Chain A
Amino acid sequence: MTWETVIGLEVHVQLSTKTKLFSGASTTFGSEPNTQVDLIDLGLPGVLPVANKEAFYKAIRFGLATNAEINQVSMFDRKNYFYPDLPKGYQITQMEKPIVGTGSILINVDGAEKLINITRAHLEEDAGKSIHDLFDGETGVDLNRAGTPLLEIVSEPEISNAKEAVAYFKAIHQLVTFLDICDGNMAQGSMRCDVNVSVKKIDDKALGTRAEIKNINSFKFIERAINFEVARQIKRLEKGESIIQETRLYDSIKNETRSMRSKEAANDYRYFPEPDLLPVVISDKELEEIRITLPELPKQKEIRFIEEHSLEESEAKILASSKAMANLFEDASTKTKDSNLIAKWLVGDVSALLNKENISIEESNLSSVNFAKLIERISDKTISGKIAKSVLEEIWVSGNDVDLIIQEKGLVQIQDESILEDIAKKIIEANPDQVNAYKGGKEKLFGFFVGQVMKETQGKANPQGVNEVLKKLLDT
C-alpha cells in the first residue's frame, strides 16, 4: 500500500525588538534570571499591556516579503491556561484578526522549487521558562523571556515529507534573517516549530488524523522527528490501529516521539478578545514606509550579483543564500574590483571550512571586516594565494586580525626587486648547469628557478616579481 504524508508547520520566530511586546523591559538574551522583567511582565495586579509598534513593523516586513495580505486593523485575544511561567494566567495572542493573512514562500529541495502557502502569521507574547533541574524538589521560574514578541507563522498542510519541511524551515530562517526581524539563532531558541503530521492512503481525499510534535528547534531534529513519526503512524495503520489526535514530544536522545497529552486532555483555552488593548491600526503611510525600506531578498540579490559582478549562477546562489555570506561578499567587493577572486574564496575555501564543521558564518570566527582585509591583502600582493589559505585557517582557529597574523608569522610577500634580484643571482650562481641548459633552449627549466627562489623565501616572494627578475637575469 502507498502512503502519503501531509505536514503543516507552525514556526515561532522571536522578533528582534529592543523591548518586549507589551512592556518596556529589554529582550536581551542570557541575562541573570528575572532581571529583564518589569511590572507588566510580572502580571502584577493593576498593570496593563501597551502594544509595541516595532513588533508590528517587523511582522509586516515578513508579510510583505511573502506577498501576504496585511490586516491594517488587527486585534489581540486572550488564550487562558495556568502555568507557572505564564504570569497572567493567559497569553495575549492574535486569534481572530492576525496582522498577517494569507501568503506564500518558495522552497528549494535538491534544486527543485515548490511554493508553500502560508495560512497566517500572528503576533503573540512568549512565556517565561520553568527550570526543573536547578532546585531539589522545586521548580524555578525565569520570566526574562516572558513577553518577548513571537511571530507565529502557520503553513498550509502542503508539505509532503521531512526534506520539504526542513527546506521550508530553512526558507523561513533565511527570510527572517534577511529581513532583519529575527537573529535566527536556533540554539538560543530564536526559532522553534511545531510540526503537524498525518498520513493517508494516496487515493484518499480526506486527511488522516494528525499528531502535533511540539517545540523542535533544529533542522536536523525536524527531519528525524518527522521520519520517526511518519513511520510510527504507517506502522499503526498497517496493523489496523488508529491514530490518536494528540500532542507529542520529540526526544532527540532516543530519536523518538512520545505522547504528551491527548485531545481530550487538552486545555480549553477560552479565547476571547483582549479587553485591555484596542485594535491596532496600521496606516497606509506606515505600510508604505515599511514597503520602501524592505531589504533586497535572496532571489533579488542573486540576480543582481550575476548582473553586477558577472558571476556564475551557481556561485551567485551560494553567495546570496544567507545574509552573512552576502555581507562577506559585498564588504570584500569594496576592497577589490576582482569579484571573481572573492567569489572563488567564498564558494571554495570558506564554504569548505563551514561544511567541514557544519556551522554557519555567524558561528565561525570569520568576520566580514577580516575577510575583506584578507581579500585586500591578496589583491595588493602583500600575501600570495597560498599564504592566504594558511592565514584563513589561522583566522578559523583564533579569529585574529589578518594583518596581525601576517606580521606575527612574517608572512609579508617579498616584492622588493633588489632583494628578489639578490636571491635570484644566488640561485643562478649555484646552478650553472641548469643555467646553461636553459640558455641552450630548455625553457621549461624556468619553473625550476622560480621554485628555487620560492623555496629560499619560504613562499613569500611575489611570484610575478620573481618571474620578472629571473627573466631579466636569465634572458640577457
Chain B
Amino acid sequence: MSIQFKTIKELSSMLQSKEVSNYELLQETFKLVKSYKHLNAFITLNEENALKKARNLDNNTSDLSLSGIPIAQKDLFVTKGLRTTCGSNMLSNFIPPYSATVIENLENAGCISIGKTNMDEFAMGSSNETSFYGNVNNPWGENLVPGGSSGGSAAVVAAGIVPAATGTDTGGSIRQPASLCGITGIKPTYGRISRWGMIAFASSLDQAGPMARTAEDCAILMNEMCSHDNKDTTSLDETIPDFTKDLDAPVKGLKIGIVKEFDLSKLDSNVVKVFEDSKKHYESLGVDFVEVSLPNINLSVPTYYVVAPAECSSNLSRFDGVKFGKRCNDPKDLEDLYIRSRSEGFGEEVKRRILIGSYVLSAGFYDAYYKKAQQVRRLIKNDFDNAFKHVDLIMSPTTRGTAFEAGSMSDPIQMYLEDLFTVPANLAGLPGISIPSGYLDSKPLGIQLIGNSLQESQLLNVAHNFQMTSDWHLRTPPTRSK
C-alpha cells in the first residue's frame, strides 16, 4: 500500500473503505517526511500530536469532510502550542497561545496538521532562499529552488508526502512555487479567507490559499478554509459557495483574455510554447480567446514594491525584543535593545524591505511614492474591471520560466521580476490559480488563470476541465530510492 502522491479524494476513500487506518496513514506520512528530509521542507514537526489524533479517529470515527487527511501548514500561520517561526530567527522561540482561523477551520473539518513548512523569511522572497532555516530543495531536481515564499508547502505536495498544504500569497507566493513544483495552487479573492492568525507581511495584499495536486482538491480545501470571520474586518461577508459543485460544468463558450501588454517575446521560446500549447488545449475544450488591454499592468511590480514594503515596515515593528521573539543579550539601553534584537533577528531581505518601506512612507516622500503607488493600484484595478466586461478569465504564464538553481539569482531586482505575472492579481484583490501545464527539461511549468472578484468557482471549473483532459498534473518527480 502506498500513500505517496495520492490526492485528498483518493485518501478519503482509502480511509473510508478501511484500506488504510488513520494511524497507518499518518505513520506512512511521517516515514515519507523522513525519507525526504533532504528537501528541508519542514521547520517544525507535529508528529506526536498528529499520531495521537489519528489514533483517536480510529477509535471514534467521524464523518467530517476532511477526516484524517494529513496536511502541512505554512509556518506563517500561528498554531497554538506549536512553534511558529515565519521562517525567521526573530521567532525561533515563539510558541503561539492561539491558532489562526484557517488552521482551526481545517482542523475542525478533520484535517491533521503534520508540521510547519519552511518558507522565505516573513514571506519575503521568491525562492525560499531567505529562510533562516535554510533553502528548500525542489523535488524535481538537485539544487533547484522550489520558488517562494510558500516553498516548503509546494515541495511537500510535489514530493507526494501530503496531498495538500496551506500557503499564503502576497505577490505570488502560492502560484509561483506551485508553478515551479508542478502542483495546483489558488489565491482566492482578497478577504475570502480570514487573515486572523496569519503573520502579516502586507495586510492589504496577504491572502491564504490551498496548494494541492489537483484543482478538485483545491476546491475541497477551499470549502473548509473560507469563512467570514468577525475577528478580521477585511474578511468578506459574502456567501461561500460549494466550490466543488460546478467543477464538471462545461467550459464551452467561455471567453479567456490574453493581456496585450504582456510582452511574451521576451520570454524563453519554450515557455511561450507551453503557453501556446495550453491555449490550444483550452480551445479544444471550446474556450474562445480574445486580446484584452490592461494599460497599467506593467506598473504592477514597481507599485507592489512600494505598497508591500511600506506595510511590512509597519507590520514588523512589533518585533522589537520587548514582548516576544528574539531579544539580544545584555542590552545596554533601550536603543541598543531595539537595534541589536532587530539586527540579529531579521535577515537581509527583510531588512531591505523594511528600509524601502520606511523610506517610501517618510515625510516628504510619502506623496511621491506611497500615495502615488496607491493611485496606480487603483488604476490597475480599474483596468481589470474594464477587461472583465469583455472576458470571463484572463490567462498568462505564472512565471517567466521553470525552477532555477539556488544561488543563481543574486540581484534582488531580478528576483522581484519573478513576480511579474502574479502581483497584478494581489494588487487588484482578484483570485488567481496556477495549473501545471508543461515541462521543460523535466522541470514543471504552470500557467495562470485570473478570475473576476469572487469567481473562484469558475477558475476551479476551468482548471478541472483542463486536468480531466490532460496529464501534466499527474506527473511525479523521481522518487528517492530507499
Instruction: Contacts A82-B320, A89-B318 given; indicate if A45 touches B91 (C-beta within 8 A).
Output: yes
1/0 contact trace for B185-225 toward A, CB 8 Å?
A: 00000000001111110111000000000000000000000
**Contact assessment for A46 and B198 in the assembled complex, using a CB-CB cutoff below 8 Å:** yes
**Contact assessment for B233 and A51 in the assembled complex, using a CB-CB cutoff below 8 Å:** yes
**Contact assessment for B84 and A45 in the assembled complex, using a CB-CB cutoff below 8 Å:** yes
Instruction: Contacts A43-B318, A87-B318, A89-B320 given; indicate if A50 touches B100 (C-beta within 8 A).
Output: no
Instruction: Contacts A44-B96, A45-B318, A48-B196 given; indicate if A87 touches B323 (C-beta within 8 A).
Output: yes
**Contact assessment for B310 and A272 in the assembled complex, using a CB-CB cutoff below 8 Å:** yes
A39 at the binding interface (Cβ < 8 Å): yes
**Contact assessment for B233 and A89 in the assembled complex, using a CB-CB cutoff below 8 Å:** no
Determine the main DSSP class of A at the interface with B. Answer: loop
- Which of B230, B314, B334 has a CB less than 8 Å from the CB of A90? B314
**Cβ < 8 Å to A, chain B residues 324-338:** 324, 334, 338
**Contact assessment for A46 and B358 in the assembled complex, using a CB-CB cutoff below 8 Å:** no
**Contact assessment for B98 and A39 in the assembled complex, using a CB-CB cutoff below 8 Å:** yes
B366 at the binding interface (Cβ < 8 Å): yes
For the complex, what is the distance from the CA of A394 to the CA of B204, rounded to whole Å? 64
A324 at the binding interface (Cβ < 8 Å): no
1/0 contact trace for B343-381 toward A, CB 8 Å?
A: 000000000000000100111001000100000000000
Which of A45, A49, A277 counts the most B-chain CB atoms under 10 A from its CB?
A45
Q: Which residues of B sit under 8 angstroms from A272, Cβ to Cβ?
A: 310-311, 314, 361, 366, 370
**Cβ < 8 Å to A, chain B residues 96-111:** 96-98, 100
For the complex, what is the distance from the CA of A268 to the CA of B91, rounded to whole Å? 27
For the complex, what is the distance from the CA of A118 to the CA of B197, rounded to whole Å? 40
**Contact assessment for B317 and A90 in the assembled complex, using a CB-CB cutoff below 8 Å:** yes
Q: What's the nearest-Cβ distance from chain B to residue A144, in Å?
A: 14
Instruction: Contacts A46-B197, A276-B203, A277-B233 given; indicate if A78 touches B314 (C-beta within 8 A).
Output: yes
For the complex, what is the distance from the CA of A277 to the CA of B358, rounded to whole Å? 21
Q: Which residues of A sit under 8 angstroms from B200, Cβ to Cβ?
A: 45-46, 276
Chain B, residue nearest A270 (CB): B361
B416 at the binding interface (Cβ < 8 Å): no
Chain A, residue nearest B363 (CB): A268
B293 at the binding interface (Cβ < 8 Å): no
**Cβ < 8 Å to B, chain A residues 21-77:** 39, 42-51
B78 at the binding interface (Cβ < 8 Å): yes
1/0 contact trace for B163-202 toward A, CB 8 Å?
A: 0000000000000000000000000000000011111101
Q: What's the nearest-Cβ distance from chain A to residue B354, in Å?
A: 11
For the complex, what is the distance from the CA of A165 to the CA of B198, rounded to whole Å? 47
**Contact assessment for A45 and B362 in the assembled complex, using a CB-CB cutoff below 8 Å:** no
For the complex, what is the distance from the CA of A88 to the CA of B231, rounded to whole Å? 17
A111 at the binding interface (Cβ < 8 Å): no
For the complex, what is the distance from the CA of A89 to the CA of B233, rounded to whole Å? 21
**Contact assessment for B100 and A46 in the assembled complex, using a CB-CB cutoff below 8 Å:** yes
For the complex, what is the distance from the CA of A139 to the CA of B331, rounded to whole Å? 12
Q: A45-B199, A270-B366 are known contacts; what are 6 more A-B pairs with Cβ within 8 Å?
A: A45-B324, A48-B234, A89-B318, A271-B361, A277-B234, A278-B234
A residues engaging B (CB < 8 A)? 39, 42-51, 78, 80, 82, 84, 87-90, 139, 141, 268, 270-272, 275-278
15 contacts between A and B (CB under 8 A): A45-B319, A46-B78, A46-B96, A78-B314, A82-B317, A84-B322, A89-B318, A139-B334, A141-B322, A270-B314, A270-B366, A272-B314, A272-B370, A275-B311, A276-B233
